[in-house]
Structure 1
C-alpha cells in the first residue's frame, strides 16, 4: 500500500470528480442524438491503442506502467513547422525536453527527474530508444521526427527490460516499417515564417515476394532572422539546415524468419544557441523592458555542425513455443561542433559583462555498438516469460575550445576520451493468476565500466586527477499486478528499481576530473485505466512516489564557466498523472492531460556557488555558497497541462477541420540553487491548424500556427555573466500540403 499525502488525497478526489464530470458531459447523450441523425457508433469510437512498453505488443490498458503514446495527427501537427525533438516537451504528462545547444543535445526529464549536464560525455536518467537501439550519447538523442509510427513515453524506472540507464523512464520511437503489400508512401511540404521550409516523405516498394524496402527523407530550413547589433549585420543568427535519411530493408521468406535492416544518417548546420546578455530584469524573472528576440549583441562567432549515421539489424525467429530476437545496433557521430558567444554580449554593453566567454564544444568521434539476444515464450497457458543478454560498447572523443580577441583566436584546447562497456542479463515473467489478475516480475543484472582520460591539454593547466576509471554492478527488479475490474476497467500497481552508472566530467583549469557515483531509485506506482461510454472515451490516472539515492547532479556556472559533478544523498519525488480523451460529439474529439510532479533534494551538506548578479533566495553557508537542501530539481515544473481539440465538418468530397493544441507548465528552476532571476516563469504555448482533406483522406491542405499567442519566456540561462538567458521558439504561421499514394 502507498501512504498518500494530503496532496495525493486531494488529487484523487479531483480525479474522481473529473471522471464523474466526464460521465455528465454530453459524450453519451450528444452521441446518442447524433446516432439518431444517421451517424454510426463505430465512426466515433476510439481505436485500440497498442504499445510495446513491456517488449510485447499489448493493449495500452493492460500494461502496468504509466505510458503515453503520440501518433498520427497529434504527432504530425507538432512537427508541422519543422520543429525538432524539443517540441515533445509538455505534450504528454510529466515530460520535459530542453537544450542549451538549440536543435542538438536535447535533455529529457520525466517526473522532474533528469540531468542538466551539457558536457558531451554526460549520461541521462531518461533513455531514448530508436527502433529498439538505445541512443546513449546526448548528441544522438536529437535525431529528427519523420515517418514515425509512434512515440511511447514510459514513466518511472524501466531497468529490467531496457538496455541502458533508465531510472527516470524511456522515450521510445518506432519508425514506420516496410511491407510486402504494395507501393505506397506519402509526401509532406510546408512553408512558414522566417522562410521556414519542411519536406519529408517516404516510399514503400515491394522488391519481390520476400523483400521490401522503405526509404524516408527529411529536409528542413530556416533563414537567419536575428540581427547582430554589434556587427550591424541583419539576419545573422538562428537559422538552420537539417537533412536526414533512413533506408529500411525487410526480408520475410516465410512465417518463421523475419529480418529488418536499417541505415540512417543526419546532417545539421546553422546557428548555435543564441544567448542574450542582460535579458532578465534585476530582482524579477521578467524580460527587460523593450526586449526584442530578433536583436542580439554578440562579438563572437556562432555556428553549429553535426553529422551522425548508424545501422541496425533486427532478426526474429518464430519457433514452436518461443520467439527469438537478435538486435544489433551501430551508431556514430562523425563530427559535432557548437561554437557560440556564451556570455551573450559584447564590449560597450550597459551594464558591462564581467568577462567575455567564447567557446566551442565538440566531438571528434563517437562509436557505439550494442547487441541484444532475447527469447520470448508463446505459451497458451497462464505462464509466459522473456529472457536475454545485452552488451554495450562506446568509444567517445570530445573536446572544449576557448577563443579570445577580435580575431577569435584559439586560446586553449582540452580533449578527452571515454571508453564505456556494459553488459547485462535479464528476465521477466508474466503469470495469469486467474482471468482477472495478472502478475509480472522482472530481474536484471548490469555491469558497467568507464575509462576516462585527458588526451590533450593545450594552455589548460590541469588539476589532478586528470583521468578516472570506474566500475559498478547492480541488480534491479520490478513487480507489478493488473486487476481487471470489468471488461473496460483495469487497476494496476507497480514497484520498480532503477540504476544509473557513474558519470565522469572532464577537467578544466579550475577543477579536476570529477566522478559522480552510481545512483539508484525505488519507485511505487498505482493507477487505473479505463475505456468509457462504449469506447467513445478513455482515461488513465496514476499516482507515484519515488526516492533516488545518491542522485548525480551537475553544478554549472556560479562565478565562472565551470562544470562539475556531485551526488545528493537523497531526492524525493511524488505526484499524479491524468490523461482523458474522447468524442464529445462525432464531430468533436478532445483530450486533456496533466501532471503534478513534486521533487525535493534532501541533503543538508550540499552547497553550490551562485550567480554573479542575481537575487539568491536560498540560505548561504559561511563560505557564501547556497544551501540547496529542500530545493526542487532543475527543469522540473510542478504542474503541466496539455489539451487538444479537433472539430470536423463533413463536406461533399471531403472534410473541413480545425485542430488546436495547448501546453502549460508552471515555473521552473534553471539551477540547483534558487534565485528570483533564474526561476523561469509559467509558460503557455498553443497551436492552431485549419485544413481540408479529400479523396478519403488521401490529400490534405492546411494553414497552421505554432506559439500563436507569441509567448516569450526565458527557458534557460547562463549565471556567471549579467543575467544572460535564452528563450523559447518564436511564433510561426505557415501552410502545408500532404499527400498519400
Structure 2
C-alpha cells in the first residue's frame, strides 16, 4: 500500500477558496429564475424554508453562519426503514461518520474526521449530542432511538459558545415533535425479512385550552440471522428487541410556557458480533469463502441497556427579554458481554478456529450506576433592533460507576477478573452571545463562554485476571477551565444569496480512563484538555425561484493536544494520549432541488483531509497477523511501538457523498412514488497506526422505497429495502489477538403501512 500523501498535498486550501469564490460569483446568476418572461407564471413546486435552532433561536437555515445540515420528514422515515438505529445517519450528512463496537448500544460520532474510537463507557467524544436541548454526555445515552422527530440538525465545527465543552468537532441536535392545540398523530407498522417487525406511533391533542400532551412510542424486533455453528451458549446472533417511549406535556399561558418531557428506552439483544480471522493476511479483503450468515463462537454474547430521563423547559416572556430554564435528568444501566476473540477454543487445544486463536478472550462492560443532572438559565433579547443578544449559566453533574469483567471461556465462562471505575464530574459555565446589524446587508455575530470542569475519579482491581492480586484504588483528580468563543459575519448579496465567514474555538475537557485488568502495571491514563481553532467560509443561496437551495463552505482547523486513544495491541490495552497537533481541511456541499415538478433530488458531499502532527508520538501496533506500515519508534523506553506522525485520524473518511431522489406522479386519487437514497464513504483506518489489513474498503450502500399514498398523504403503503446491493464490508476490528473484524448491516427489506390522523 502506498504511503499516504501529506495533508496539504491532497487538496490545498487555496484551491478550495478558489472554488468557493467561483461559486459565489456564479450564485447571483444562478439565483435568477430560468423563466424571465413575466407572462409565464412561476412553478408552484418550491422548497419550503428550513427553520433550525442552531444558534438557540429559530432561524432560517440560510441565515445561520454555520455549516449545518437539517434532516427531517420523509428522509428520516426512509433512512430508518428496516429498524435501523441512530447509525443510519452515518454518511447521510456531509462530514458525518457514526460507528460502534457495541452494536446498537454505543454509537461513536465523527464530524470532519474528529471523533473518538475509545470503547470505554467513560469515554468522552468531541461531537456532542443534544436531545430536546439536554446534552447526552454518556455514550450510552447517545443511541436513543430516532422517532417522532421534527428534525435532526448536524452542526459542523466548534460549538463551544452556545453548547459548551466537548463540542470541538460539532453537535448533532435532535428536536422531538411537540404537543399542540391541534390533535394529530400517526401509526406506522412494517414487517420484513429475518422476522423483522417495527412499530412507531404518536398522538397529541389538547387537554384544556392551556394544556396539551403528546405520547409517542417505538418497538423494533429482529430475529437472529447469524447461525452459530459451535455448540455453545448462543445458537444465533444479531437479533434484538427494543422499545422506547416519550410523553410530553405543554402548558401555554400568558407570558409563560412549560414543556415537560419523560422518556425511556429498553433494549436487549446481541452485542457486537466479532468474527475471527475474516481479513485475508496481506490485504483488506475478506477471506475466500467467507459466509456472513455463520460464525463459530464459544463465548456468551448479549447486550442489555435501559435508560430513562426527563426534562422541564420553561420560558417566561418578560416583554423586552425572554427567560429560559432547561432542567434535565438522565440515567442509564447496562451490561454488554461478548466473545472478543471471535472464535472457539485456542491454539494450544486440539481444536480451535476459525483460523488461529492464540487464546480465548471473553469480557463484559457494565454501567450499574449512572445519573446526570443539568441545569441552564438563559436570557435572550426580544427584537432589540440592530442588536440582539443572549446570555446564560450552565451546570452539569454526573456520577457513574463502571464494571469491567473478564471470563474464562474454557472453564464454562466463570468470571476471573473484575475492575471498577467511579467518577464524579461537575462542570459549570457562563456564556454570552450577540449579533449586530452593521448595515442592512452585513450582520456580525460573536460569543464567548467560560467553563470550569472538575473530575474526581478512582479505579481499582477487585478480582485480578488470571489469578493476579487485587490492586488500587488509584485516585485521579482533574480541574480545568477554558474560554471558548466564536466570531462570524454574514453578508446578504441579495434576498437569495448569503456569504458568511466564521472563526471559532472549542475545547474538550480532560478525560480519564482505567482499563486495568490487562495492564502490566495497573495505572489510569489521563488526557489533558484539547483545544480546536476552526476557520470557515461559505455561501448559502436559494436558486431558481426557490426551486433549489445550496450551501457550500471550505474549512480549516487545528487541534492542540487532541485527545486520542491507543486501543488494542498485544495486551488489548486502552491508553489515553494527547497528540501535539492534528490538522484538517476540506469542504462541504449541500444541494436540494426540484429538477422537475415531480422529481426532488438532494445531494451532499464533503472532503476531509486529516493529519496527525506529532513526530514523537508512538503507539503499540497489532498483537500479530497484520502488516504495519508505520516506522518503528527509536525510543528505547517504548520497545515494540510505531510512530504515527503524518497518519490520518482513525474512522475519518476523506470523502462522503449522499444522494436522494424522489419521483412522484398522480395516480387515481393518490400518488405513486419512488424514493432512492445512496451513501458513500471512502476508506478509513480503524486505528491510529496504519496497516494493510486494518484499513477498510470504501463503502457504498443504497436504499429503495416504492409506494402509494392517498387521501392527501394521510395513508401510505410502501415496499422498502436497505443496503439493497447487500454490500458486505468490514467496518471495525479487534487487533490484539488475530484478524478479527465486524461488519456493516446486511440487506433488509419489507413492507410498511403508515396512517396519519
TM-score interval (norm. to shorter): over 0.9
- How far is 1:184 from its partner? 1.4
- Distance (Å, rounded) in 2 between the aligned partners of 1:82 and 1:447: 40
CA distance in 2, matches of 1:562, 1:234: 27
In structure 2, C-alpha distance between the alignment counterparts of 1:527 and 1:15, rounded to whole Å = 7
Where does 1:652-691 land on structure 2 (aligned, <5 Å)? 652-691=668-707
Equivalence for 1:187: 187
Conserved 8 A contact 1:227-1:233: no
Indicate conservation of the 8 Å contact 2:626/2:692, yes or no: yes
* Displacement after TM superposition at 1:507 (Å): 4.2
How many angstroms apart in 1 are the aligned matches of 2:594 and 2:32?
6
Structure-2 residue corresponding to 1:499: 507
Question: TM-score scaled by structure 2?
Answer: 0.94
Matches within 5 A, 1:230-629: 230-231=230-231, 236-254=236-254, 256-333=255-332, 335-347=333-345, 348-404=352-408, 405-454=410-459, 457-460=462-465, 461=469, 466-509=474-517, 510=519, 511-611=522-622, 612-622=624-634, 623-629=639-645
After superposition, the C-alpha distances for 1:471-514 in whole angstroms (9 at most, x for unaligned) are 10011111100000111000000010001000000141414111
Question: Residues of 2 paired with 1:586 and 1:235: CA distance?
Answer: 52
1:26 Cα deviation after fit: 14
Instruction: Identify if the C-alpha distance between structure 1 residues 19 and 594 changes in structure 2 by more than 3 Å, giving closer, same or farther.
Output: farther
Residues in 2 aligned to 1:693 and 1:6: alpha-carbon distance in whole angstroms: 45
Q: CA deviation at 1:301?
A: 0.3
For 2:115 and 2:234, locate their aligned partners in 1 and report how far apart those are by CA, in whole Å.
37
Q: Please name the residue that 1:101 is paired with.
A: 102
Partner secondary structure for residue 344 of structure 2: coil
Verify the 8 A CA contact 2:252 2:258 in the aligned structure 1: yes
Preserved contact between residue 412 and residue 459 of structure 1 (Cα < 8 Å): yes
CA contact (8 A) 2:205 2:214 kept: yes
Is the Cα–Cα contact under 8 Å of residues 366 and 397 in structure 1 kept in the other structure? yes
3-state SS of 2:137 partner: coil
Q: CA deviation at 1:567?
A: 0.5
| Within-5 A mapping of 1:196-235 | 196-231=196-231
Matches within 5 A, 1:695-734: 695-734=711-750
TM-aligned CA distance change 1:709 to 1:13, over 3 Å: farther
Is residue 460–residue 471 contact of structure 2 (8 Å, CA) maintained in 1?
A: no
Deviations 1:18-47 (A, max 9, x none): 899999999976x899x97xxx74531000
Number of equivalenced pairs: 731
**Residues 27 and 541 of structure 2 are in contact (CA less than 8 Å); yes or no, is this contact kept in structure 1?**
no
How far off its partner does 1:416 sit?
1.3
Deviation of 1:652 after TM superposition, in Å, equals 2.3
Query: Are 1:133 and 1:329, in contact at CA under 8 Å, matched by a contact in 2?
Result: yes
Which whole-Å deviations, capped at 9, do the CAs of 1:419-463 have from their partners, x for residues lacking one?
A: 000000000011000110000110100000001112552125467
SS in 2 for 1:470: strand
Task: Specify which of 627, 634, 647 is matched with residue 631 of structure 1.
Answer: 647
In 2: Cα distance, 1:27 partner to 1:717 partner: 51
Residue 163 (structure 1) shift: 3.7
C-alpha deviations, 1:347-381, integer Å up to 9, x for none? 22153211111000010011000000000001341
Instruction: Report if the CA contact (8 A) 2:296-2:354 is conserved.
Output: no
Structure 1 residues 245 and 32: CA distance shift in structure 2, 3 A: farther
Shift of 1:205: 1.9
Once the two structures are TM-superposed, the CA of residue 165 in structure 1 deviates from its matched residue by 1.3
Tell me how far 1:231 sits from its aligned partner.
1.5
CA pair 41-221 structure 1, distance change in 2 beyond 3 A? farther
| Contact 1:26-1:585 at 8 Å conserved across structures | no
CA RMSD of aligned residues (A): 2.2
Measure how far apart 1:592 and its partner are. 1.0
Question: What is aligned with 2:144?
Answer: 143
8 Å Cα contact 2:605/2:656 also seen in 1: yes
Does structure 1 retain, via aligned residues, the 8 Å contact 2:232–2:299? no
SS in 1 for 2:679: strand
**SS where residue 124 of structure 1 aligns?**
coil
Structure 1 segment 163-174 matched on structure 2, within 5 A:
163-174=164-175
Deviation at 1:119, TM superposition (A): 0.5
State the SS of the aligned residue for 2:13: helix
The residue aligned with 2:4 is none
Alpha-carbon distance between aligned partners in 1 of 2:512 and 2:382, rounded to the nearest angstrom = 42
Give ranges in structure 2 of 5+ residues lacking alignment: 1-7, 346-351
CA contact under 8 A between 1:691 and 1:703: conserved in structure 2? Answer: yes
* Shift in CA distance, 116/428, structure 1 to aligned 2, threshold 3 Å: same
Paired residues of 1:499 and 1:520 also in contact (CA < 8 A): yes
**Residues in 1 aligned to 2:563 and 2:177: alpha-carbon distance in whole angstroms:** 36
8 Å contact kept, 1:156–1:169 = yes
Post-superposition Cα deviations, 1:595-649, rounded to whole Å, max 9, x if no partner, equal: 0001100001111111111001111124231110000000000011001101111
Q: Hey, what's the Cα distance between the residues in 2 that align with 1:350 and 1:306?
A: 30
